Amino acid sequence: MKLKTTAYRSQMMSKIRSTGGKAETMLAKMLWHSGIRYRRNYRPLPGKPDIAITKYRVAVFVDGEFWHGYDWANQKEKRIHRNREYWIPKIERNMARDREEETELKAMGWTVLRFWEKHQVLKDPEACVDAVLATVEKVKSANHTG
């Protein structure tokens, strides 16, 4: 469906929330059923990770393709047609903030995993769960051998 009016677009954008999305919730539930315990939208950490596995210091982010610049070099020309002077700097700032937060988390001793909402989590949630579980196992074994 093509968004025709600015008022309609504004109404649609106002419905978007930063937490509790379908992909984030699906991944969290699958991890819980796999025995992984976590905190959702963990405020004490930079970037408020969608899923923070505090015991193993693993931070998981589920990034929306539009907001976090999936395939940005191509998409900024194809997807953003209106109000480009607002959206392009906004999304590029989101991408820079993601990098800053990731650097900060790594400096704090956290392992950071990022998944694209539609291209990874919704398309192949099992692969995302497997990646998280493998990371947890890697951290566990590093802690026992170190």
Convert the pLDDT of each residue in 24-47 to its tens digit. Answer: 999 999 999 999 999 999 999 999
Closest CA to 21 of 135, 116, 128: 116
Could you identify the residue written with the tokens 């192949």?
124
Q: What is the pTM of this model?
A: 0.85
114 strand-pairing partners: 61
Average pLDDT over residues 49-56: 97
Which tokens is 76 given?
Answer: 């900024």
Q: What is residue 104's DSSP assignment?
A: H
- Asked if CATH classification 3.40.50.300 holds for the domain at 23-145, the reply, yes or no, is no
Tokens of 121: 């989590």
Q: Are 61 and 53 in contact (CB under 8 A)?
A: no
Each domain of the chain, given as residue ranges in start order, spans 23-145
Neighbour tally for 94: CB within 10 Å: 15
